[in-house]
């Protein structure tokens, strides 16, 4: 399976994503933001980091970069696109997924392990993962998901909420919400569910010597769906 990771100036999780994809069997290519076309891929990943220094608004400048039209075209044709952390912010700025990501509620950068409850229905990202609750990792300043009540209703009705922050028992509450996100939303799909944007980093938790190994389930599942 072929994947492409886009490098924007200021991306800093591009290598980590490359390492993770290769570890689980993807043939990955790194793609420069100034290129016009993405190579033939089954999966495109917008990695985390601080593209363009987070200037103007997180993700906004990357959403106007050269490569992005090609990403949008790929997504509109049903290609699988993942945006992690800053990648999620970029997806939002391109309009490929709904909502906004505001400053964290307590106005602090947060780096820690968190638990998320996954949505397994009709998507290739979480469908066959045996665990319902994954221990992943967040590291962000602007991950406070927000959308209008109408949009919220619409993403709920279409089952587009991909992952929600919870505690280790799966309870979704104010206490398990690290950043103030509406409805504890940590990630969303587009309508067709071929695009996933989420704040947690699965690529940082792919080995038992790291803070968790649950990211492995994510990549293994994704690959198994693409074969």
Partner 1 sequence: MIEVNEKIAIDHGLKKDEYKKICELLKRNPNLTELGIFSAMWNEHCSYKSSKKHLKKLNTKGKKVIQGPGENAGVIDIGDDDAIVFKIESHNHPSFIEPYQGAATGVGGILRDVFTMGARPIANLNSIHFGSPSNKKTKSLLRGVVQGIGGYGNCIGVPTIAGQTSFDESYNGNILVNAMTLGLVKKNKIFYSKAAGLNKPVIYVGSKTGRDGIHGASMASAKFDDKIEEKKPTVQVGDPFTEKLLLEACLELMRDDSIIAIQDMGAAGLTSSSVEMASKGKLGIELHLDKVPCREESMSPYEIMLSESQERMLIVLENGKEKKAKEIFDKWNLDFSVIGKTTNSKNIELYFEKNKVANIPIDLLSEEAPEYDRKWKKSKLPQKIKFTKKDFKNLKITDVLKKILSSPNVCSKEWIWEQYDHTVMGDTIQKPGGDAGVVRVHGSEKAIAATVDSSASYCYAHPLSGGKQIVCETWRNLICVGAEPIAITNCLNFGNPEKPENMGEFVECVEGLNEASKYLNFPVVSGNVSFYNETKDKGIKPTPTIGGVGLIKNYKDMITMDLKETGNLILVVGKTEGHLDQSIFAKEVLNEKKGPPPEINLFNEKNNGETVLKLIKDKLIRSAHDVSLGGIMTGIAKMCIKGKKGINFYKYKGLIDKFEFFFSEDQGRYIIEVKKENVDNVKKILDKNSNHYDLIGEVIEGNISINDEPTLSVDKLADYNKDWLNNYMVN
Catalytic sites, residue numbers: 85, 201, 203
User: To the nearest whole angstrom, how small is the minimum distance from the Cβ of residue 207 to partner 1?
Assistant: 8
- Specify which residues 116 forms β-bridges with: 134, 165
Tell me which residue has tokens 């929600």.
164
- Chain contacts with partner 1 (rule: CB under 8 A): 9-10, 12-13, 15-16, 19-20, 48-50, 52-55, 108-112, 137, 139, 141, 201, 203-204, 206, 209-211
Token pair recorded at residue 208: 């038992």
Tell me which residue has tokens 């968790």.
212
Distance CA 72, CA 212 (A): 32
Which residues, at least 6 apart from 73, have a Cβ–Cβ distance to it below 8 Å? none
Q: Which is nearer to partner 1, 189 or 218 (CB)?
A: 218
User: To the nearest whole angstrom, how small is the minimum distance from the Cβ of residue 35 to partner 1?
Assistant: 12
Q: Which is nearer to partner 1, 31 or 188 (CB)?
A: 31
Tell me which residue has tokens 């990202």.
125
User: To the nearest whole angstrom, how small is the minimum distance from the Cβ of residue 123 to partner 1?
Assistant: 25
Q: Which is nearer to partner 1, 50 or 189 (CB)?
A: 50
| Contact (CB, 8 A) for 79 and 194 | yes
Distance CA 34, CA 27 (A): 21
| Contact (CB, 8 A) for 3 and 42 | yes
Q: Which is nearer to partner 1, 13 or 161 (CB)?
A: 13
Give, in degrees to the nearest 5, the angle at Cα 215 between 213 and 217: 95
User: To the nearest whole angstrom, how small is the minimum distance from the Cβ of residue 86 to partner 1?
Assistant: 10
């Amino acid at each position: 399976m072929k994947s492409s990771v886009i490098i924007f100036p200021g991306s800093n999780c591009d290598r980590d994503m490359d390492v993770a994809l290769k570890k689980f069997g993807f043939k990955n290519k790194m793609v420069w933001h100034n290129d016009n076309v993405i190579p033939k891929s089954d999966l495109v990943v917008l990695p985390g980091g601080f593209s363009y220094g987070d200037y103007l608004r997180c993700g906004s400048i990357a959403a106007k970069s050269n490569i992005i039209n090609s990403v949008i075209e790929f997504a509109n044709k049903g290609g699988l696109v993942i945006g992690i952390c800053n990648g999620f912010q970029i997806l939002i700025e391109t309009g490929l997924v709904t909502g906004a990501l505001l400053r964290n509620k307590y106005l602090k950068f947060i780096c820690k392990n968190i638990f998320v409850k996954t949505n397994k229905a009709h998507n290739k990202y979480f469908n066959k993962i045996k665990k319902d609750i994954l221990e992943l990792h967040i590291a962000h300043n602007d991950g406070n998901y927000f959308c209008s009540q109408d949009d919220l209703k619409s993403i709920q009705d279409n089952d587009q909420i991909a992952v929600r922050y919870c505690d280790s028992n799966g309870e979704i509450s104010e206490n398990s919400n690290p950043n103030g996100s509406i409805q504890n939303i940590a990630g969303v799909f587009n309508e067709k569910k071929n695009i996933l944007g989420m704040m947690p980093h699965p690529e940082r938790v792919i080995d038992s010597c790291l803070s968790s190994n649950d990211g492995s389930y994510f990549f293994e599942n994704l690959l198994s769906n693409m074969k």
